[in-house]
Amino acid sequence: MNSVDTVTMWVIIVGLALGSYGLRFVFIGLVGDRAMPPWVLRHLRYTAVAILPALIAPLVVWPTATEGQPDVSRMAAATVALVVGLITKNVLAAIFTGAGTLYGLLYLLG
């Protein structure tokens, strides 16, 4: 278990709480019925699908648990989770098959 500096942690919690609420409130609360420029919406549409893969990709290629050594079990599990999610559109099915692949291969390969 790591230790996290208490002040840092609360700064992050409070900052994220206020920031997240601000993002949720900004349009429904402040903008009302005014329209937004299409180019803004066009970029907002792709934020989640850009940030999440960018966060994950380095963790898949250079996992923390293996001290950055590429790992067959983790790469395979990642591929399975992505492909199953893509085909079935079912998040839970993807999580379980991905986890199953990881455990299966970690067990087989040691």
Partner 1 sequence: MASTTSKSYYWKGFRDGTPFIFVAIPFGTLFGVFATETGLTIIQTMAFTATVFAGAAQFAALQLLQDNTPTVIILASALAVNLRMAMYSASLTPYLGSAPLWQRAFAAYLIVDQSYACSIVRFEKEPLMTTPQRMAYFLGSVTPITPLWILATFLGAVLGTKIPESWALDFALPITFLAMIGPMLRTMPHVVTALVAITVSLLTVAVPYNLGLLIAGCVGMMAGAQAELWTLKKEATS
Binding flags for partner 1, 5-44, as an x/- string (CB under 8 A): ---xxxxxxxxxx-xxx-xxxxxxx-xxx--x--x-xxxx
Q: How far is the CB of 108 from partner 1 (least distance, A)?
A: 14
Question: Closest Cα to residue 82, out of 107, 106, 53?
Answer: 53
According to the binding rule CB under 8 A, does residue 109 interact with partner 1?
A: no
By CB under 8 A, residue 104 contacts partner 1: no
108 lines the binding site for partner 1 (CB under 8 A): no
Give the residue, chosen from 37, 83, 104, 109, that forms a contact with partner 1 under the rule CB under 8 A: 83
- b/e per residue, 34-49, with b = 16+ CB within 10 A? eeeeeeeeeeeeeeee
Out of 72, 74, 104, 108, the only residue in the binding site for partner 1 (CB under 8 A) is: 74
Min dist. Cβ of residue 79 to partner 1 (A) = 9
Rounded-to-integer distance, Cα 73 and Cα 63, Å: 11
Would you say 62 and 75 are in contact if contact means Cβ atoms under 8 Å apart? Answer: no
49, 61, 71 from 77: Cα distances, Å: 20, 12, 10
Measure the CA–CA gap between 42 and 49, rounded to whole angstroms. Answer: 13
Residues between 46 and 65 that touch partner 1 (CB under 8 A): 46-65
To partner 1, the closest distance from the beta carbon of 69 in angstroms equals: 13
